[in-house]
Amino acid sequence: MHIKGFFKKTIGISIILMMTILHSACDKTKEPINFGHKFWDFFAQADISEMDNYFSTKIFIPRGSVLLDKKWGLNPSGDLMTGITIDRKNLLNGYNAILNKIGIQKWKTIFSSVNTDKITFKKVDTNNHNYYIGAKRNDIIMMVPTGKGDDRLAFVLSLNPENRWNINMASIIIASTAYY
C-alpha cells in the first residue's frame, strides 16, 4: 500500500509537471501574438508614446512601403524601390507626420475598424532576404489587412537580446503603389 501510494503521487506529480511544461510551451507560441495585438491597440488609437515601447532601436522599412514616400520625412530620396533602416525616433516622427496630414480622428476611424481576427501571424520567410532584410529564423510577420483590397500593414516581430519581443520592420502597403 505504501508503494502504491508512492506511485500514485509520482504519476500525479509527473502529469502536473507535463501539463505545466505544455502550458508554458503554448504560452510561448502566443507571446508574439499577444505582443502584436497589444501593439495594435496602441497603433489603432494613435498612441505614439505607447507605440515607442514596441519598436526596436532600428527599424527596417522595405521597398514598396508608403512610409518611404518623401512627404513623411523618413526617406530624403523618396525612392520607393529601396528599403531603408531608420531609428525608432525617426519612425515615430514619420507616424506623427501621417497623423498631422490625415488627422487623428481619421487615423482612429481607419485603424480601429480593422477586424483583429483577420490579423495574421506567421514565421518570416528568411529565404526572401531581398524583402525581409535582417529577418532572423524565428521572427514573426504580423499582417494587418486595412481595406477592402490588398492594402495592409506589415510588422516583423523579433526577440531582442533580452529575449523580449519588439518590432524591427514596419511597412504600409497600398496595393496600387506597391513595388515588390
Query: Domains of the chain: which residue ranges?
Result: 2-177
User: pLDDT digits over 46-63, tens only?
Assistant: 999 999 999 999 999 998
> Residue holding cell 528568411?
126
Cα(123)–Cα(140) distance, rounded to whole angstroms? 4
46 with 131: CB under 8 angstroms?
no
Q: What does the pLDDT average to over 79-91?
A: 93
Among 3-12, 91-100, 141-150, 154-163, the range scoring the smallest mean pLDDT is 3-12
Average pLDDT score over the chain: 82
Residues 6+ apart with CB under 8 A from 45: 108, 112
User: CA triplet 159, 38, 158: central angle to 5 degrees?
Assistant: 15
At the top level of CATH, which class does the domain 2-177 belong to? alpha beta
DSSP conformation class of 81: T
Alpha-helical (H) ranges within the chain are 2-44, 48-51, 88-102, 104-112
125 with 139: CB under 8 angstroms?
no
Among 62-71, 88-97, 147-156, the range scoring the smallest mean pLDDT is 147-156
Residues belonging to the chain: 180
Q: The pTM is what?
A: 0.78
